[in-house]
Structure formats: C-alpha cells, structure tokens
Structure 1
Amino acid sequence: MIEVQHLHQTFGRGHRATVAVQDVSFSVAAGEVVGYLGPNGAGKSTTVKVLTGLLVPTSGRVTVGGVVPWRERRRHVARLGAVFGQRTTLWWDLPVRESLDLLRHVYRVPAGRFRENLAEFTALLDLGPFLDTPARALSLGQRMRADLAAALLHGPELLFLDEPTVGLDVVAKERIREFVRTINAERGVTVLLTTHDLGDVERLARRVMIIDGGRLLYDGALGELQTRYGGERELHAEYEHAPPSPEVPGLTLLSADGPRVRYGFSGAAALPIARVTAHAPVRDLTVREPDIEATVRRIYEGGLLRRTVGQAGAVPR
C-alpha cells in the first residue's frame, strides 16, 4: 500500500536549509495498522504530508497504492481518508448531516453507498444524537467522531490518523479506537497512526516505526520494542507467609511488605516462576510488563535507538 525509498525532505536553501527527513525507507502492506511515533519536530508530519501529496519531496521514491501522490493528486485523494486532531473537515455552521452530504458530492459517492455507510458509521460512532447539530456546537469528542465518519464515507483504502484522541476523555477515546479496529478488520482499511497517546498505539498497532531528527530509528513489532528497551519486568509475589528472607537469586528485590514482595527481572528473560515458588509457598503471582510510555520516554531521553543505529548502521527490526 505504501512504499517509501530514501525519502529526503529539505526546507530552505544553502546554509539556512533545514533537513526535516533524511533517507527514510519503509513499506506498509495493505490492511496493516502502523504507529508512526516520534517527538515533536521529528519528521512525522513532513512524512505524512508527502504521503498525502501535500508536499513534493526533495528526493526519494514514494508510491501509495501504486500512485505517486503529488503527481496524480485527484486519483490519490479519492482513495484515502485523513483525520487531523486539531482540524476539521466539517463546515462550521452546518449540521453534521449536511456536511457529510456535501462530502458525498465532493467524492461522488453513489447515493445508495452513502446511505449504507452513514447508517453503519452512525451506529458504530453513535452519531445519531448530534447529526443535526452544527459543527461549532459539538464537543471535541463528538467532532472527532463526525470527522472519522467524514473521512471514511467514500470508502478509502488508506486512513491517516494524526492525534485522533487528543484531549478526549477515556470513554470517547475507547469508542474511536474500537471504530478504527472495526473498519480495519471488516473493511481492510490500512491505517497509519501518528500520535503521542501511546494508549492508541497499544490498542491498535502491532507494528511501530520511530523517527527522530528526521531519521527512521526503529521499524518493528511493539512487543519487540518493549523487550529490547522497556527495562525490567516485574513479578509480584504474594507468599502464604512472609518468607524468612525475600531475596531470590537472580532477581532484583524491589520491595517487600510481609508476604507481598515485588521482584524485577530482565525483559528478555524467561518468567522466573519456578525460582519464586521454590523459595517459599506462594498464594498468587502477577507479572507486570514495562509501561509503553515509560519505554518510549527512555528511548527519547536516553538516545537508545540513536546509539543502536549508530553502532549497527541499520534500522533495528
């Protein structure tokens, strides 16, 4: 669906030139949901603007569904949808229903398919209570749900999501995430997700790419990222009685409160259950995985991926 080879984007000229993206290559298969992560100014938005056809790259080869985005824009935009958390495609003073109907004409969606899609999205996103409300009167969560419906009414093959849950409460976030999961599973829509809310990534994407300083530093499974860079996992043991000593060889003792003891162990290591159960009679065991937000923060702040790429000369996979 997406093929990017040696993408390079520079703004300005001469000594004032700013390199936004440098030598980025990746591919996304049809039907994938991929998280595209990075701190502010990393190059995420520039990459998406190239993929949507808004920017012509300085150099490199980019195709989306076999089309060069900036050369065949009319054909290209007819096959994609985009939702940007800080912007809306709705007409501010029009009821949501009328905005959606205008978009039907813009994309030349047949009336029958429009009615079917609108009915399905109304049910999935609970649009009914505010379909006749002007966009200016919607809450943020309502507007985001309406924008998602607007982006998908014409049946695109590819959806770009930029901060789709920013500023939303927990209930609104989960409704949007469930909708994205549904259209990916049932319609095979490919999704490229850029976000700072790592809850979105955990619930939607199995694969993540991390960009920083314009360079792609990681492209692979979210679980592998956690294993490599997430730090220690935790094993919480509740013994039947407080053990004579909470220490277990090979494990880091994090805390001990009578029979309740917390241990740390390497993310790459096998679960050390046998060692703990052999230490003293156990009533309950719980494993806590490293927090994804803490993992990504460690990566950004510690430059872990930059060091890896510098040593290996390739993007970790």
Structure 2
Amino acid sequence: MARLCPGQLHCYYLCMPAIEVSNLSKTYRVYRKREGLLASVRGLFHREYKTVEAVRDVSFSIEPGEMVAFLGPNGAGKTTTLKLLSGLIHPTSGGATVLDYVPWHREHAYRRRFSLVMGQKNQLWWDLPAQESFTLHREIYRIEPTQFNRRRDELVDLLEVRDLISQPVRELSLGERMRMELIAALLHSPDVLLLDEPTIGLDVVSQRRVQEFLKYYQSEHGITVILTSHYMKDVEALCRRAIIINEGEIKHDGPLAEIVDRFSRHKVIQLQFSGSSIPDDLERFGTVFDVHPPRVKVEVPRNRISQVLTTLLADYTIEDVGVLDRPLEEVIAEMFTNGDQADRADVDAADESQPVTAAGND
C-alpha cells in the first residue's frame, strides 16, 4: 500500500472492511482411534489418520466498529476461525485480511493492532500479581510509560479491580481473573478484539459486569469485535449481527433479530383462562408447559398459529392471550440438534495442540 498521510490513512480504513474473509478453509490430519486393546497396540506401530475440515470455504466481512456474534456448537469451527484471524495458525486454503494485514504473516505492526482473549486460556502469569503481567505487556507492545499508566488506570477503574491488581493471579476468582485478562488485552489500544467465550464459567453477576464493560468500551472507542459465546445473554446484550457456523460452514449471516424468524419452527401461545383452572385437553394443540393455573403456555407449530388461536377462542373462555417468539437460545440449540457432531470433536482435539501466546511473541 502506498504511503498515506494520517488523514488519508484514517479515511482509507473507514472505507474498507476491518475484517475480510474469503473462502477460508482449515483441514487437520487427525489420528483415528480404534476401540479395544488389540487395536490400541496395533496403533502403536501402524497409525491410521483421517482428514477433518475444521473450517470449510468460509467467507464474510465485518465493518469497522461492528460487534458481531460468531455462534455455533462445540467443534463448529469458531475457535479455529479466531486463531486464523489472529495468525496463530495458517489456513489450508483461502484468504483473510484484518486491518489490511494478512494475519498469518505475523507482522509486528499487525500484532500491535489486535488482541485475542480466550476464556479458557490465560495470558497472565499465574503466581505473579496482575500488575506484573501488565508491565510485561507494556514492554512487549512498547507502550510509552505515560500512555501505559493512563490506559491501565482507565481500565482498572472501569472494571473496578484497583484493590486486586497487586494480588497473585492464582488468588483471584474466575470473574476477577477475566477482568484482568481484559485489561491486559486492551492496554495497547487494539483496533480489533477477538473474544472467545469471555464469560465461560462466570456467575451471573460477573457475566453482567463483563457485558456492561464491553458494551461501554466498544461504544467509547469504536473497536471492531468478534464475540463467540454459548451464553445468549452475552450475545443479545452486545451484538446486533450474528454469524452462525456449523460443521465448518456458515449457516446464517445477518441481523440477530432475524434468527428466530428464520429458523424457529414454533411459536408460544400464552393463555390466561377465567376461573382458577386450565382445560385438561390443551395437549391437542401442542406442547403444554409453564403451567400456573389459570395461566399456561402452549408451544405450537408456526403454520398452525392462526388455526389454534381461532379454536382456542371459540372453545374456551379466555381472559388474556398473547403470541411469543421462542427464546433465541432454544432456537439456536434446535438448529444444531440434528447435526452430526462426531467429527467436530476431533477438530477440538487437534485445535488444542495449537499454542496460544501473547501477541508479540513468536
């Protein structure tokens, strides 16, 4: 790219996607395990392998300042995609650019502009206070001391951990450690933040605190965020757009609000009957649940809603009725119920062998 002045460079990056992925694929060669003692012994001398496609011909783009949910079941290819975008692993085929850099070229300039946070991986030194890890990050990213102090103090105050940064990391709760991980990830002011299950294992209070921080920080600094999470409350609180991946392929890319309309095969009719009881034959309409006489809910196929409502209103005395969408979490779970996940577990096993290190270390 030709050398541009700062103003031109700013306009250039605003006019192009922050992340551009084109036909990206990643294939692993995985040891085929056989059951039984004899098969295990044979495997010591003659190993059989199979090929597993972790990511298959994936394409998408994300604009600067977007916060996008990247959803899918375990082994769907989410973490593999984030590792490709962070440059930790190389693709088998296809391409990607992040901020106009090819991630797996591992240029120093790129590594100073993104950050990866993985809920199940630590980048902080376990036996040292978080403050010491922050100082190490200052050296890795060559942050000017005054800027470092200002950034650290801002993040420490936002996440309310000033009294904790001098404690050894091993003494902190899971929620406290995650807040420290976020501080470490943001000290160098990255333009792109990749979050892989940042609230996994956290209690409800800690989850909400992380959600509120991420929402505020993204709105204030305009960074581009990809979020993977199995907690739909994270997704609904933070993202308007979702990319759904399953078996290595993208199944949906669009507004979060469209997922229920597009994929849910049922709706819920909420009823309140007159009197203190409910009819005992409601199961003829669908699945009856959440029974609190005289209130009850019935899950009904979408294409039968009008017919069922007409019959209910004609046959019973009803004081109140409403039609509800099913929760996003249930709809997404239903999407993956019939998928074959066997090979995806192999992807997880292969992917675990890939190292996760602090950006800036080769």
Q: Please report the TM-score for the alignment, with normalisation by the length of structure 2.
A: 0.73
Unpaired runs of 5+ in structure 2?
Answer: 1-17, 31-47, 341-362
Retained in 2: the 8 A contact 1:163–1:194? yes
1:12 to 2:29 alignment: yes
* 1:194 counterpart = 2:211: no
Match of 1:260 among 283, 288, 295: 295
Task: Give the superposition deviation at 1:42.
Answer: 1.7
* One-letter amino acid of the structure 1 residue matched with residue 262 of structure 2: R
Once the two structures are superposed, residues 134-174 of structure 1 have per-residue CA deviations (whole angstroms, 9 ceiling, x without a partner) of 11211111110000011001110111111111111100010
1:56 to 85, 90, 93: 90
Aligned residues: 303
Cα distance between partner residues in 2 of 1:226 and 1:89: 36
Distance 2:88 2:287 in 1: 53
Q: Distance in 1 between matches of 2:302 and 2:159?
A: 38
Residues 195 and 226, structure 2, Cα contact 8 Å, conserved in 1: yes
Partner letter of residue 176 of structure 1? V
C-alpha separation in 1, matches of 2:337 and 2:313? 39
> Is the Cα–Cα contact under 8 Å of residues 55 and 77 in structure 2 kept in the other structure?
yes
User: In structure 2, what is the Cα distance between the partners aligned to 1:292 and 1:124?
Assistant: 30
Cα distance change, pair 187–276 in 1 and its aligned pair in 2 (3 A): farther
Match 1:150 to one of 175, 178, 184 = 184
Deviation at 1:264, TM superposition (A): 4.4
2:111 is matched with which residue: 77, 82, 93? 77
Considering only aligned residues, what root-mean-square deviation do their CA atoms show, in Å? 3.3
Residue 26 of structure 1: CA displacement?
A: 0.7
Secondary structure at the residue paired with 1:41? coil
Q: Alignment partner for residue 185 of structure 1, among 187, 199, 219?
A: 219
Q: Distance in 1 between matches of 2:300 and 2:287?
A: 9
Asked whether the equivalents of residues 226 and 295 of structure 1 are also in contact (C-alpha less than 8 Å), the reply is yes
Aligned counterpart, 1:28: 62
1:51-82 CA distance string (max 9 Å, x none): 00111212112100111112243111100111
1:265-293 residue CA offsets vs partner (Å, 9 max, x unmatched): 56699999x97998788765565431222
* C-alpha contact 1:246 1:253 (8 A) present in aligned 2: no
Which residues of 2 match residues 277-292 of structure 1 at below 5 A?
288-292=324-328
Name the SS for the 1:127 alignment partner: coil
Q: Please tell me whether the aligned partners of residues 246 and 261 of structure 1 are also in contact (alpha carbons under 8 angstroms).
A: no
- Secondary structure class of the residue paired with 2:329: helix
Number of the residue aligned with 2:352: none
Tell me which amino acid in the other structure corresponds to 2:147: R
> Match for residue 135 of structure 1?
169
Distance 1:165 1:16 in 2: 33
Which protein has the larger Cα radius of gyration, Structure 1 or Structure 2?
Answer: 2
Q: Provide the rounded CA distance (Å) in 2 between the counterparts of 1:270 and 1:112.
A: 63
Change (3 A) 1:150 1:237: same
Residue 199 of structure 1 aligns to a residue whose secondary structure is helix
Aligned-residue offset at 1:104: 1.4
Q: Is the 8 A contact 1:238 1:285 kept in 2?
A: yes
Cα pair 1:8 1:22 within 8 Å, conserved: yes
Cα 1:187–1:239 shift into 2, 3 Å: same
Give aligned-pair identity as a percent: 39
| Corresponding residue number in structure 2 for 1:300 | 336
Gaps in structure 1 of 5+ consecutive residues? 305-317
For residues 229 and 287 of structure 2, the distance between their equivalents in structure 1, rounded to whole angstroms, comes to: 35
Q: Distance in 1 between matches of 2:278 and 2:87?
A: 66
CA distance in 1, matches of 2:245, 2:82: 12
Q: Is the 8 A contact 1:227 1:267 kept in 2?
A: no
| Pairing partner for 1:95 from 116, 129, 139 | 129
Q: TM-score, normalised by structure 1?
A: 0.83
Q: Specify the SS of the correspondent of 1:12.
A: strand
Q: Any idea what the Cα deviations from partners look like across 1:283-314, whole Å, max 9, x if unmatched? A: 6556543122221221111349xxxxxxxxxx
Kindly tell me: are residues 125 and 268 of structure 1, through their superposed partners in 2, closer, same or farther at Cα, counting changes over 3 Å?
A: farther
Q: Deviations over 1:108-136 (max 9, x none)?
A: 22223222222221222111121110112
Q: Distance in 2 between matches of 1:81 and 1:146?
A: 14
**Contact map agreement 1:247 1:253 (CA 8 A) in 2:** no
CA distance in 2, matches of 1:206, 1:227: 15
Secondary structure in structure 2 of the residue aligned to 1:116: helix
Worse overlay, 11-20 or 141-150: 11-20
